[in-house]
Amino acid sequence: INRWDLQKLDPAAKVSPPKNAIIFHMEKTVPVNLRPIVRAGIEEWNKAFDKLGFDNAVEVRQQRDEDTWDPEDVNYNTFRWITAEAGFAMGPSRVNPLTGQILDADIIFDASFLRSWKTSYENFTPSAVAALLDLEQPIPTKGPALFGSRRHHHADCRLNEGMQHQSSLAGAVFAAQGLTAKRGELPDEYLQQALKEVVMHEVGHTLGLRHNFRASAWKTLAEMDDPAKANEPTVGSVMDYLPVNIVPAGTKQPVYYTTTLGPYDHWAIEYGYKTVAGDENAELAKIAMRSGESGLDYSTDEDTETNDPDPLSNRFDLSKDPIAHAQRQMALVNSLLPKLLERTVENGEGYQRARQAFGVLIGEYYKSAQFVARFIGGVMVHRDHKGDNQARPPFKTVDAAQQRAAMKQLAEQAFHAPKYDPASLNSLSSTNWRHWGVPRSSLDRAEYPIHKTISDFQEAILGRTLNHLTLSRIQDGEAKAAAGEDVYTLPEHLKSVIESVFSELTAPPAGEFNNRTPYISSFRRALQRTALKRFADIVAKPRQGQPEDARVLTRMYLNELAAKIDAALGKGDLKLDDYTRAHLTDSRLRIKQVLEAETEDFGKPAGGGGGGFFIFGAEAEPRTRNLEAIAPEQP
Ligand SMILES: [Zn+2]
Ligand SMILES: [Zn+2]
């Protein structure tokens, strides 16, 4: 931890003011009505310093009109306010590299997130969602991503960007629930809590704290929603990225965001700033020993990248049971989408708010599913040391029951489209502004691309469930389990994915279908094609590191699927529509191609995307028996 040189004025006293307090100068740019909230967010940290015997370690001073100091002056820590949609909140803090002493910190606070509407969300694409949350991208990434694809740098704080999204989500939900008097306006309590939470977070960085993305997994939803506990922290640390907690209509709304420091924050400040009289190392070791205790869980940026295995380490997830939270979010979206149009647009207005709300809500639906998908092949990661209080081993495979529950939820919800009113899609138009200061719209298409949106989201989810890392982790989990322990095996997983994606073939009914109401819907046909491409890659273009068993199992299950397709196509009492018949005939042919194509490179992985060939898609090359002609590049 980098830290300020904070010493007691009277080291012997139990409680003493500091020799030099950490003083934040609040610039006069901060709106007058919001100053008390900003002040409260900064001073909140005194609660942690109080416990260590510091009286007023952190001080806030208001800049006056006659003050002449320069905010860039290294002698002043400043809190500056902008609304540039620049999407950042943390300014540089200057640290002595030899000692880790923090010398100066300036918070440049972008308050754009206090507004609920943002024009660029009119094109809230699956890749934008993935970039925002560092989740699996739909492959290949198509179209301009809203946030670029830059990686999270360890010192980077992108909370504001995400909070902008949360405020848009909150605005969309409130509007669609018919809760706000003026549409799109966020209630005062929301604004106050969101602002205080972001201030606490950014000030936490300037005190030396890093992100803690596991902090939101401390409590259950029921504990967070408990009105009797409204003044208690809902999460272990304000250093997480927190989503807005909105409960379904008819339930009493709890706090939207945590309102106070969590146990992890107190603990980290104790470690960094406690005045130690005797053996400092021994005292620090004693503090660190508590790492296994409830509320102190920690994981940071480098544990929370796309391929990381811990399903509880996420940006903007919520609760000890993210599967339950996802269920709640998906139900919320299903309940709101059908009423969206009437509630978000007033007479005399354009329809852009409906478009934003639709995009943000459908994004919420599949974002929730992506968190669920992370449980499959998931591994809980802990940093406890041997002998710590309540120490856990560094790695623990996610329980088989939980992996199964995750798979079941994907099958029942993520592999289907959310409920929406088809006619409302014809009203999802976007803003037509073109002038300076307004980012150029990046819409590929003016009208809403419903099929592409849903299929891209589902592609990202299938990508997570079927990528080589997930498959290896599942199989490794088998070898790491104790004898007799219930295990989610690779065969169970692959079979579950194939059967849920192609569930229409399990027991096809008798009857007649037509092209207007096809037996397999357009969304499901797209899902099945995407899945078949993934399976083809597993069999014929295995990635380095993919278990060989995944390849041979997939072959076997594809054979079984082919038999089911034959049975459905040949079923006398089932009259299929053209769409379904064409789709199944094509799928059947593709499976045949995959099963025949593979065999030569027996046991030899094609390498991470290099060389190889594509069975489907525009890049398809004919399979050749001439090995030199293939010459895959080996890494
Ligand atoms: Zn941050
Ligand atoms: Zn989290």
* Burial profile 578-603: b = 16 or more Cβ within 10 angstroms, e = fewer: ebbbebbeebbebbeebbeebeeeee
472 and 357 co-located in one domain: no
The ligand minimizing its distance to the Cα of 234 is 2
Residues lining ion ligand 1 (Cβ < 5 A) are: 157, 159
Q: Is 3 inside a domain boundary?
A: no
The ligand minimizing its distance to the Cα of 89 is 1
Query: Which whole number is the average pLDDT over 199-207?
Result: 92
Q: State how many domains the chain has.
A: 2
Residue 136 clears pLDDT 70, i.e. is over it: yes
Single out the residue in 427, 442, 468 at which a domain terminates.
427
Give the tokens for residue 75.
């002698």
Nearest to 616 by CA among 539, 518, 521: 539
Model ipTM value:
0.92
pLDDT at 185 (0 to 100): 77
Alpha carbon of 576 to ligand 1 centroid (Å): 54
pLDDT at 178 (0 to 100): 78
Alpha carbon of 403 to ligand 2 centroid (Å): 19
Q: How far apart are CA 328 and CA 405, in angstroms?
A: 15
The ligand minimizing its distance to the Cα of 301 is 1
617 and 558 co-located in one domain: yes
Alpha carbon of 349 to ligand 2 centroid (Å): 37
202 and 267 co-located in one domain: yes
Alpha carbon of 156 to ligand 1 centroid (Å): 7
pLDDT at 176 (0 to 100): 84
Alpha carbon of 157 to ligand 1 centroid (Å): 4
pLDDT tens per residue across span 305-316? 888 899 999 999
Q: Is 581 inside a domain boundary?
A: yes
Alpha carbon of 118 to ligand 1 centroid (Å): 21
Alpha carbon of 301 to ligand 1 centroid (Å): 10
Alpha carbon of 604 to ligand 2 centroid (Å): 39
CA dihedral over 353, 354, 359, 362, signed as positive or negative: positive
Alpha carbon of 300 to ligand 2 centroid (Å): 10
What Cα–Cα distance (Å) separates residue 574 from each residue in 359, 514, 564, 615? 37, 11, 14, 31
Q: Is 70 inside a domain boundary?
A: yes
Residue 292 clears pLDDT 70, i.e. is over it: yes
The ligand minimizing its distance to the Cα of 209 is 1
Helical H segments across 345-449, by residue range: 352-373, 400-409
352 and 466 co-located in one domain: no
Q: How far apart are CA 239 and CA 210, in angstroms?
A: 7
SS3 59: strand
528 and 415 co-located in one domain: no
The ligand minimizing its distance to the Cα of 162 is 1
414 and 469 co-located in one domain: no
Alpha carbon of 317 to ligand 2 centroid (Å): 5
The ligand minimizing its distance to the Cα of 201 is 1
pLDDT tens per residue across span 443-464? 667 889 999 999 999 999 999 9
120 and 262 co-located in one domain: yes
- Phi, then psi, of 495 in degrees rounded to 5: -65, -40
338 and 198 co-located in one domain: yes
Single out the residue in 427, 462, 487 at which a domain terminates.
427
134 and 182 co-located in one domain: yes
466 and 358 co-located in one domain: no
290 and 394 co-located in one domain: yes
Q: Is 445 inside a domain boundary?
A: no
Range from 131-140, 375-384, 562-571 carrying the lowest mean pLDDT = 131-140
Alpha carbon of 389 to ligand 1 centroid (Å): 28
143 and 38 co-located in one domain: yes
Q: Is 491 inside a domain boundary?
A: yes
The ligand minimizing its distance to the Cα of 200 is 1
Q: How far apart are CA 97 and CA 219, in angstroms?
A: 37
Q: Is 437 inside a domain boundary?
A: no
Alpha carbon of 25 to ligand 1 centroid (Å): 20
Residue 606 clears pLDDT 70, i.e. is over it: no
Q: Is 439 inside a domain boundary?
A: no
pLDDT at 576 (0 to 100): 96
The ligand minimizing its distance to the Cα of 211 is 1
pLDDT tens per residue across span 388-441? 999 999 999 999 999 999 999 999 999 999 989 999 999 988 776 665 555 555
SS3 396: strand
Residue range(s) defining the domain that contains residue 589: 450-630
Q: Is 4 inside a domain boundary?
A: no
Residue 489 clears pLDDT 90, i.e. is over it: yes
